[in-house]
Each structure stands twice: as C-alpha cells, then as structure tokens.
Structure 1
C-alpha cells in the first residue's frame, strides 16, 4: 500500500504546485485530472495546468470515474496526483442531480481505492467551508457540504494532511 497525502487550502494557495514538488522523487508518475473544459475560463485553467505540469507525468482525464481510473493504473504507477476533489464533486453533483447518496457513496469508494492503491497518492482539494455560508443559494450550500464531507473521508484515510496558506504548507495530520 502506498501513502496518501491530502493537500487542501483556498484558491491559488499553491496546492497543485506543492503536489508537483512532492512528486519529484517518484519515477512512474500519473496525473489524474478531474477538470472539464466547459467554458473559455476553464479551458484556460486546464491549459495552464497542462503547460506547467512536468513532462514526466502521464495524464489521465477522469472528470467522473476517478475510482475506475485509479484501479486501472494498478501496478503501473509509483505515484498518482489526483487534482482535484473540488471539480470531481461538482461533476458528480451534475451527474446525480439532487441525490446526495450516490455522491457520498463514490466518496467512500474513493477513500477505499486510495487505501488499497499500491502506489503513493497525492490528493488536491479546496477548503471551501471557511467562508460565509451561502444563504441565498441552496446548491452552493449543498456543494460546500458534499465537498466538506468528502474531504473528511479522504483526510481520515490519509497519512498526511497539509493545509496551504499563501503558498506555505501547514501540517494538519
């Protein structure tokens, strides 16, 4: 079994850059990307990540089927960077509609897959529960809750949890 590192923090706090830095010593590296280019802004973000990612990574696009992507990698990887849970939960919400059950089941399945993985995993997510409660928008509150619960599930199985603040990691676990 490999180690699991969860990196959380706010937007543009340096989470993805830290994940790439922590990946440096590994040989066979995979990047599981959950983003989908649904508009021009997301297309630009994805392109930025692609161009700043070291070329020794093999990229797997998995906007929804993250668990299957991890299981498929099997023993071909030394390290997988999963970036990010935030977009994954958003994608799952769109797939499953207003039913939270399947989203949380997939989060449980991801926690199990990470625990069983024969490679090291670095998981990137956003910490969205520290701000103002979005009282005017039920879907935003639902997203915040689903991501928060998913982050807790992954943090529980993680060997290490890091919180990024202004480009600096703080060890949480």
Structure 2
C-alpha cells in the first residue's frame, strides 16, 4: 500500500522547500505540513511564523520533532499530500534526544511501506562541503547521508534543487 514518495534535497536557501510545496499544492487538498523544527529561540519562532504565513490557507500543520514514522502513518492516508520539512532537522532532534538513528531510520522506512498518500520530504544536502572538524558534526553528516540514501531508494522521485532550479535525479 505504498504511496507516492518524493525526496527534495538541496542546500540552505536553495529553493527546495518552495519546490516541495509546489509539488504538494499541485495535488488536490488536503495538504498536510509536518514540521520537524522546534522553536528554541525567538529567531526560530519568527522563522516558523513566517513559513506558516508564506504557505497560506489550505494547509494543516502537524508539529512533530521526533516521532515522524507514527505521524506519517496517521496522516498520509489515501487522498492526502504531506510535506515533511525537514529530514535533517528530524535527524538533529533524534541525535539531541539520544535516540538510535539507525533504528529510527528503519522505523521511518517501514512506515513508508504503509502510507497511502503522497509524502514529499525536504532535506538539506550536507555532504558537499568540507569534512567537519568534530566527531558530532561528522556523525551528523554521515547519518544524514545514510538517511538520504535510504529514503531515495524508497522514493519514486528524487530532486536536487540548486539556486531555485530543480534537477531530477530519479523518476
């Protein structure tokens, strides 16, 4: 019963979220926005508020920093289009909560096998820069790369966005 899975990768301010939103709004409503960010400071609260306003009406927002697989199984039902923004924030939340990333990734992949709606993932490609100078950052980069590979393998479509230009890598 797998739904349509799309992965949209790109750097910071590459246009990946805008592209992903367009993929979702090209489908019939309902549109569900699964936000993995947590507002730890005033700047992040303002950023989250601005993103909500930019999306406009028609979206239902679900905030879930950790239990993404459970949320997807609940909301990604037939006839829905779900945008998850973003996988790298979800990964950093998992690491901060000291959850086992491999286990949580496996749970996410299992959930993708059971969703019936369209799910569009947004994620930051962090593996194109220099090797980080500390173990935590290297672990994050490595875990993000493995997460992206696993989701890309399940996705029917993978898009890499650079300077607002989408490049289709798969599908």
Q: Same fold (TM over 0.5)?
A: yes
Cα pair 2:78 2:116 within 8 Å, conserved: no
What's 2:103 paired with?
105
What's 1:49 paired with?
51
What's 1:12 paired with?
13
Any stretches of 5+ residues in structure 1 without a counterpart?
A: none
Greater helix content? 1
Question: What RMSD, in angstroms, separates the aligned Cα atoms of the two structures?
Answer: 1.4
| TM-superposed deviation, 1:76 | 6.8
What's 2:137 paired with?
140
Any stretches of 5+ residues in structure 2 without a counterpart?
A: none
Q: What TM-score results when the alignment is normalised by the length of structure 2?
A: 0.93
1:60-108 Cα shifts (integer Å, max 9, x gaps): 00011111111122537511101100100000001116xxxx2111112
Alpha-carbon distance in structure 2 between the residues aligned to 1:107 and 1:74? 17
**1:70 paired to 2:67:** no
Alpha-carbon distance in structure 2 between the residues aligned to 1:118 and 1:20? 19
Deviates more, 1:4-13 or 1:42-51: 42-51
Q: What TM-score results when the alignment is normalised by the length of structure 1?
A: 0.92
What's 1:168 paired with?
165
Across the two proteins, how many residue pairs are aligned to each other?
168
